[in-house]
Amino acid sequence: MEFFLSVLEGYPVLVSAIILASITVVPYLIHERRKSNKVQAAISKAKKLGLWEPVTMHPKVNRDVCIGSGACVSACPEGKILGLVDNKSMTICASECVGHGACARACPVGAIELVFGTERRGVDIPQVHPNFETNVKRLYIAGELGGMGLIRNSVSQGKEAVGYIADEMKGAPYKSQGVIDILIVGAGPAGLSATLMAKKEGLNYIAIEREDEAGGAILSYPRAKVVMTSPAELPIYGKVLKKEISKEELMALWGDIAAKTRIKISTKEAMISSESKGEYFEVKTSKRTILTRYLLLTIGRRGSPRKLDVPGEKSPKVMYRLLEPERYANQKLLVVGGGDSALESAMSLASQAGNQVTLSYRGEAFSRAKAPNRARLDAMAAEGKINVLYQSNVLKFRGDKVDISHGQKVIQVEFDFAFVLAGGVAPNDFLKKAGVIVETKYGTR
C-alpha cells in the first residue's frame, strides 16, 4: 500500500484525474443506471397492463445504431412512448403511439423507423407508394386508410396526394366527355384537405361523403370529446393553429372552411363500387355513376362498425354510435369496447343524472385507451359511477337484459340501451375488389 501511495505521489496529474473521475463520472453512471432502472420498471408495468404491445403505427428502434442522444424521448408529443435503457432507446407504452413521427425525425442517426404491427400481431395496410398511388394505376389512398390517423398527418397527405396528381396531369393531359379529373371519397381531414387542393389546382373534382356532413371519423366521437391535433396548414384556407380542440369546435371549423373556400362536398353519398375502364374509373355511388380519371380514397380504416354477431343484436336498443350522451338520463346503459371511444362514451353517460353504466371489455386492461382516460375511468369506477367488467363477452341480448360471460360464470345485466363501440371493420374486401393489394404488416413499414 505504501508503495502504491508513493507511486501516486510521483504522478499528481494522475491523482487529479482519478479524483475528478470519482467526483463526476461515477455519479453520472449511477444517475444513468437509476434512469435506466426506472424505464425498465415502466416497461414491466406497461407489459402487465397490456400497453407495451402497439396496435398500429409505432416506432421501431435499431439499438445497434442508437447512440442514446435522448432526442427521440424529448421529441415525442405523447409523453412516455420511449425511454432510455442502458443508454439506448426502447419503447415503453407503444400502444399509446399515434404515429406522429417526431421521434424518427429527431433521431440524429436514423435509428428509428415507423412500422405497422409486430412479429405476432399483424396489421392490414393497403400497398401505397410514396406518392400515395396504389398498385392500381391512378387510384390513390391518403389518410387513415393508409395508416395515418393523426389529423395533421392526414391533412398533409390529402394535400400532397392531390399535388402529385396535379403534377402528373400537367405532364399528361387528358380530356374526355363526361370524365372528371378526380373523385375524392371521404370528407374527413384528408378528404377536406384534398378537396381544397383540388380547387386550388383548378381540377374538375367531385367530393363525396357518406355521412350527412363532413368530418369523417370525428362524427362518431361523443359530444365535447377533445380531439388532440397539431398545427396544420390547409390549401386556400391557411393555418389551423390550435393544438387541442373539441369535437364541436372542430366541426364548426370544418363548416367555416367549406363556407369561406366555397368547396363543394356531396353528403349522404356513399361509394358502392369502382371499376377501372383503362383510362378512367367507373364509380357507382348511392346516388349516381361517376366517370373519373383519378380516384382518391380518404376514407377511414373502420369502414363499417364491428358487430358482436350475437343473438338479439338487431334490437333497436343496440347502437354503434353515441353522439349526444346528454339525451340519456335515468337509464340503465351498457357500453361494449375497450378503446378511447368506449371509455369516453361510458364516462359521458355516467356523468348524466341517474344513469347506471356498465362497461364490458374482453381484455384484462384497456391497452388501446390513452392514459388520462384510463385514470379517469379508474376514479369513476372507484366511486361506483361505472361498473367495469374486464374479461367479459356479450353472449345474447334478450329484451331488457343481456347475458354476459364474466370469468367462469354467466351474469345478466339489465339495460335500456346498449352501445357497441368495438371499433370497425377495415374495408379490405372493397379494396381487393378494386384490385388494391392489401398487405399484412408484421413490424415492417
State in words which class domain 19-115 has. Answer: alpha beta
Mean pLDDT of the chain: 83
Residue 112 neighbours by CB under 8 Å, 6+ apart:
59, 60, 61, 62, 72, 89, 103, 104
| Cβ–Cβ under 8 Å, residues 123 and 116 | yes
| Cβ–Cβ under 8 Å, residues 162 and 133 | no
pLDDT reported for residue 26: 63
- Highest-confidence range of 5-19, 211-225, 374-388, by mean pLDDT? 374-388
List, in sequence order, every residue forming a beta bridge with 61; answer none if it has no partner: 112
| Domain boundaries, given as residue ranges, for the chain | 19-115, 124-303+427-441, 305-425
pLDDT reported for residue 19: 65
pLDDT reported for residue 419: 95
The owner of cell 376514479 is 379
Q: Which three cell numbers stand for residue 88?
A: 439506448
In the 8-state DSSP scheme, what is residue 46? H
Pairing of strands 289-297, 281-285: antiparallel
Residue 151 has pLDDT above 80, yes or no: no
Number of Cβ within a 10 Å radius of residue 230: 18
CATH number (3.30.930.10, 3.30.565.10, 3.50.50.60, 3.40.50.1970) of 124-303+427-441 reads 3.50.50.60
Q: How far apart are CA 269 and CA 285, in angstroms?
A: 6
- What does the DSSP assignment read for 79-120? STTEEEETTEEEESSGGG-----HHHHH-TT--EEEEBS-SS
pLDDT digits (tens, 9 = 90+) for 323-374: 778 889 999 999 999 988 899 999 999 999 999 999 999 988 887 777 788 8
Give the CATH superfamily of 305-425: FAD/NAD(P)-binding domain (3.50.50.60)
pLDDT digits (tens, 9 = 90+) for 210-245: 887 777 666 666 666 666 556 778 899 888 776 667
pLDDT reported for residue 302: 66
Report yes or no on whether pTM surpasses 0.75: no
pLDDT reported for residue 125: 79
pLDDT reported for residue 315: 92
pLDDT digits (tens, 9 = 90+) for 23-68: 666 666 666 667 677 767 766 776 666 556 666 677 888 888 898 8
Residue 164 has pLDDT above 90, yes or no: yes
In the 8-state DSSP scheme, what is residue 58? E
Residue 316 has pLDDT above 60, yes or no: yes
| Cβ–Cβ under 8 Å, residues 121 and 53 | yes
For residues 81 and 307, which has the higher predicted lDDT (pLDDT)? 307
| Cβ–Cβ under 8 Å, residues 160 and 201 | no
Residue 123 has pLDDT above 80, yes or no: no
Q: Do domains 19-115 and 305-425 have the same CATH topology?
A: no
pLDDT reported for residue 49: 61
User: Residue 389 is which amino acid?
Assistant: L
| Cβ–Cβ under 8 Å, residues 340 and 369 | yes
pLDDT digits (tens, 9 = 90+) for 397-431: 999 999 999 988 999 999 999 999 988 777 888 88
Q: How far apart are CA 19 and CA 57, in angstroms?
A: 48
